[in-house]
């Protein structure tokens, strides 16, 4: 099969197309998917560049957000799925047996691995995945569905599962036009919460309005805290979703009201932040981390999107052969919304 293989960490030239990549035989409980689309995430850049401190072995096929069609072959122990079903893949695997797994907290399992990061992913014609990882979806808007898993389940875990989001909350989202930020805004709007999206430019503000976003928008400036206070009658906000890290940490804690919650899920700008502990103590803040989300978050996200009919915005679609261009655009942040790879177009044999 054809796949993009990363043999060593480095710049985009390290992404190489292999046309004779082998695929293992199906194991118990696995299904084989013909991949239609694979969404890109910042995780893909971390994988390519290396140096994160995570235990990564190479070579590796990147790609965590996968939409595919079930092939004829399926392993033993697979029920309720048929050839031709269109499915979305939960991008993590775990032991299935430990205390965390049994409680549905797969991301805490010692064996938790992200597909397309710790194990081979979706920059590929075909993949074998555990049948328990997939949810059936309608066979339409597959490019947009391929932009859902990592962003939406991280936002869902931070805002809903751990953040106890309600319609009475005011929610601030940093980087509101990025994949994760946009997912968070969509989810908060779906709960009828009051939303404040923080963006870096007027162009990004316009993008949100064109997409039909009706909440508040603040273009980032030195007046940020003042603007947040004005929008909340000097109360501050209930939840902040921060996936930026070092650069925004202090501001996030400052804008929270008494009893506020910080949904923290990314360290894009660095991981050494200074904390004024008086905020946490005096305002009795809750800080929780989300390293992606669990299978249950994934299932709820699929239902949420089906009900709200609000899929992510796809900035551009690239072919597998254009993967280097796709990475370049993402690295230089020239896009708004999500980037996906179109992997397969028609029936073909392995």
Q: Binding residue for Zn ion (CB under 5 A) from 38, 87, 109, 155? A: 109
Contact stretch for Zn ion (CB under 5 A) within 9-17, 32-40, 94-102, 211-219: 94-102
Q: Does 268 bind Zn ion (CB under 5 A)?
A: no
For residue 48, report the phi and psi dihedrals to the nearest 5 degrees: -65, -45
Q: Does 101 bind Zn ion (CB under 5 A)?
A: yes
Task: Tell the smallest beta-carbon distance from residue 118 to Zn ion (Å).
Answer: 14
Q: Does 94 bind Zn ion (CB under 5 A)?
A: yes
Tell me, what DSSP letter sits at residue 168? T
DSSP 308-337: HT-PPPEEEEEEGGGHHHHHHHHHTT--SS
Contact stretch for Zn ion (CB under 5 A) within 34-42, 101-109, 147-155, 182-190: 101-109
Residue carrying structure tokens 């993009």: 4
Q: Binding residue for Zn ion (CB under 5 A) from 78, 95, 231, 287? A: 95
Task: Tell the smallest beta-carbon distance from residue 304 to Zn ion (Å).
Answer: 26
Task: Tell the smallest beta-carbon distance from residue 100 to Zn ion (Å).
Answer: 5
Q: Binding residue for Zn ion (CB under 5 A) from 78, 98, 224, 231? A: 98
Q: Using CA of residue 333, residue 335, residue 338, residue 342, what is the dihedral sign?
A: negative
CA–CA dist 338, 20 (Å, integer): 29
Task: Tell the smallest beta-carbon distance from residue 93 to Zn ion (Å).
Answer: 10
Nearest-CA neighbor of 52 among 61, 43, 60?
43
Residues composing the chain: 350
State how far Cα 247 lies from the chain centre: 20
H or E segment and range at residue 304:
helix 295-308
Contact stretch for Zn ion (CB under 5 A) within 73-81, 87-95, 233-241, 262-270: 87-95
Q: Does 206 bind Zn ion (CB under 5 A)?
A: no
Q: What residues make contact with Zn ion under the rule CB under 5 A? A: 94-95, 98, 101, 109
């Amino acid at each position: 099969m054809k796949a993009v293989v990363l043999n060593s960490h480095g710049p985009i030239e390290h992404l190489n197309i292999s046309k004779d990549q082998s695929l293992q035989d199906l194991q118990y409980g696995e299904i084989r998917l013909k991949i239609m689309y694979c969404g890109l995430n910042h995780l893909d850049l971390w994988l390519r560049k290396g140096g994160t401190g995570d235990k990564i072995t190479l070579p590796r096929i990147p790609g965590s957000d996968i939409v595919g069609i079930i092939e004829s072959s399926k392993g033993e122990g697979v029920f309720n799925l048929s050839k031709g079903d269109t499915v979305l893949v939960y991008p993590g695997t775990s032991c299935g047996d430990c205390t965390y797994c049994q409680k549905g907290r797969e991301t805490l399992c010692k064996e938790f691995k992200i597909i397309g990061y710790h194990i081979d992913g979706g920059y590929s014609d075909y993949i074998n995945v555990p049948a328990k990882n997939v949810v059936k979806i309608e066979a339409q808007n597959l490019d947009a569905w391929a932009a859902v898993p990592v962003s939406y389940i991280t936002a869902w875990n931070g805002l809903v599962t751990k953040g106890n989001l309600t319609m009475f909350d005011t929610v601030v989202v940093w980087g509101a036009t990025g994949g994760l930020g946009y997912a968070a805004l969509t989810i908060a709007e779906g709960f009828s919460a009051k939303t404040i999206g923080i963006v870096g430019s007027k162009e990004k503000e316009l993008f949100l309005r064109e997409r039909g976003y009706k909440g508040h928008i603040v273009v980032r400036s030195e007046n940020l805290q003042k603007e947040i206070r004005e929008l909340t009658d000097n109360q501050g906000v209930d939840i902040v979703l921060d996936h930026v890290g070092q650069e925004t940490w202090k501001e996030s804690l400052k804008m929270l009201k008494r009893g506020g919650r910080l949904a923290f899920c990314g360290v894009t700008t660095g991981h050494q932040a200074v904390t004024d502990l008086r905020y946490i103590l005096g305002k009795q803040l809750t800080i929780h981390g989300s390293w992606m989300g669990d299978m249950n978050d994934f299932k709820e996200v699929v239902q949420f999107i089906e009900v709200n009919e609000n899929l992510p915005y796809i900035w551009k679609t690239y072919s597998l052969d254009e993967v280097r261009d796709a990475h370049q655009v993402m690295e230089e942040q020239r896009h708004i919304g999500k980037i996906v790879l179109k992997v397969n177009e028609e029936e073909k044999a392995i």
